[in-house]
Amino acid sequence: MADNNLSEQWKEWFHENGTRLLLFARGKTNSEQDAKDVLQESILRLWKSYSSKDDGILHPPPIALAFTAVRNTAIDFARKTGRRLKREQNSEQLVQDSDQVAAWFEADRLIDKERANEIEFALKKISPKYREIITLKIWGELTFLEISKTLDIPANTAASRYRYGLEALRKILKPNTD
């Protein structure tokens, strides 16, 4: 019975406030669909965490809190969309120049295929954390700052792993020069 009453309270609250909240969401987004997505996510957030508990029952929140939730959700949505668009643009740029992308992995870029095989073998023998950094730095052409953001590690850690990885490769590739 309490769940039915609670459900009715939320339905009534949304019926009274949904249109206002959607209008507000439209002003914070680029399209009708985005506004609806933001509103839906906001209502879910309100349901899960912003409701006040009285006698163990979650009542609908005050309208001011709902507007704040819509605003915050729209900000999060814009950030997420911006990052996604940037990733898509970057990947499109890479795919457009497919010859250059393919050339990264071609053994023809190295002086001879035997040396390429030696390097590939040596890379497989070093620690994965070093291999990852070397791959991103050399073949990915990333800076240490970009690597640090990609792997969620400090830039100095990326740089030191790169140095240690190169040293490990040198030892494997030239074992008699100790």
What pLDDT is recorded for position 1? 47
Q: Indicate whether 158 pLDDT > 90.
A: yes
**Residue range(s) of every CATH 1.10.1740 domain in the chain:** 2-96
- Mean of all residue pLDDT scores within the chain: 80
List phi, psi (to 5°) of 96.
Answer: -60, -35
**pLDDT bracket for residue 100 (50, 70, 90):** low
Query: Which tokens sit at 175?
Result: 């074992």
Q: What average pLDDT does range 97-108 have in this prediction?
A: 54
**pLDDT bracket for residue 153 (50, 70, 90):** very high
The answer to pTM > 0.75 is no
What pLDDT is recorded for position 83? 79
Q: What average pLDDT does range 62-81 have in this prediction?
A: 88
Q: How far apart are CA 61 and CA 63, in angstroms?
A: 6
**Residue range(s) of every CATH 1.10.10.10 domain in the chain:** 101-173
Domain 101-173 - what CATH class? Answer: mainly alpha
| Residues 66 and 21 sit within 8 Å (Cβ to Cβ) | yes
For 2-96, CATH number?
1.10.1740
Instruction: Write the pLDDT tens digit of every residue in 36-46.
Output: 999 999 999 88
Query: Which tokens sit at 33?
Result: 């669909």
**pLDDT bracket for residue 113 (50, 70, 90):** confident
Least trusted range by pLDDT, from 28-32, 74-78, 117-121: 117-121
